[in-house]
Amino acid sequence: MTFTDYVLNAAIIALVLFQIRGRRLGPRTLILPITVVVVVAASYLRAIPTAGGDLPLILAGAGAGLVLGAACGLATAVYRRPDGVVMAKAGPVAAALWVAGVGARLAFALYATHGGARAIGDFSVAHHITSGQAWVDCLVLMALVEVLSRSAVLAAKFMSTGARWFGSSQATVAATIMTNRGN
């Protein structure tokens, strides 16, 4: 792993850890992590190998990302403050799931480069995984789908607060607050 890989993993963990104390939620805060992961994915993904056990491995990684990301989003509270600002607050379960996903990818990379290559090779042969790129694609797609599914759940929660994505003026926010108070 390169220094950049460590920095990217730390940044991905920080995305959720910052939400433990609560963070404003909106289009920008949902699009930023997606942008980061898409840029990283674009630099690692090539043609997705489908021979032998490659595709099932890749789909398993994407499936794990889907479950972890959606569960993390579901375990994150999204609420609207009295001033109309929508906040996201990750609980301990959300943080643990997020760190587990990033940690699993990091642990695999460290294992692969520090003595585990033979065991991974044996596993690959036993399960007909024909390409080393399949492992890369599995882990990258796991991260991408984890971020996308978490963001989708948080976007749905954002919309359920009645907040608007774009163009909500202070007058609209004030009118919404007054309506919610019954005035």
Q: Is the backbone of residue 182 left (phi > 0), alpha (psi -120 to 50) or beta?
A: left
Give the closest residue to 21 by CA, choosing from 89, 99, 93, 98.
89
Q: Of 13-27, 69-83, 162-176, which range is least confident?
A: 162-176
* ∠ Cα 37 164 97 (to 5°): 35
Domain that holds residue 47: 3-170
Residue 180 lies in a domain: no
Looking at the structure of the chain, the number of domains it has is: 1
- Determine the residue type at 39: V
Radius of gyration of the chain (CA): 20
**Of 3 and 137, more confident:** 137
Residue 53 lies in a domain: yes
Residue 58 lies in a domain: yes
Confidence of residue 166 (pLDDT cuts 50, 70, 90): low
* ∠ Cα 73 74 75 (to 5°): 90
Residue 181 lies in a domain: no
In sequence order, the 6+-apart residues with CB closer than 8 A to the CB of 97 are 68, 71, 72, 75
Instruction: Using DSSP, state whether 1 is helix, strand or coil.
Output: coil
Residue 17 lies in a domain: yes
Residue 110 lies in a domain: yes
Name the pairing type of β-strands 76-80 and 23-24: unpaired
In sequence order, the 6+-apart residues with CB closer than 8 A to the CB of 78 are 25, 86, 87, 88, 89, 154, 157, 158, 160, 161
The one-character DSSP state at 49 is: P
Model confidence pLDDT, tens digit, residues 14-67? 766 777 778 889 888 888 888 888 888 888 887 777 888 899 999 999 999 999
Residue 168 in this model has a pLDDT that exceeds 60: no
Residue 181 in this model has a pLDDT that exceeds 60: no
Residue 176 lies in a domain: no
Model confidence pLDDT, tens digit, residues 76-132? 999 999 998 999 998 899 989 988 998 898 889 889 888 999 999 999 999 999 888
Residue 162 lies in a domain: yes
Give the pLDDT of residue 4. Answer: 72
Give the pLDDT of residue 64. Answer: 96
Q: How many CA atoms lie within 13 A of 17 on its CB side?
A: 9
Q: Tell me the C-alpha distance between 121 and 107, whole Å.
A: 16
Helix (H), strand (E), coil (C) string for 78-143: EEECCCCCEEEEECHHHHHHHHHHHHHHHHHHHHHHCCCHHHHHHHHHHCCCCCHHHHHHHHHHHH
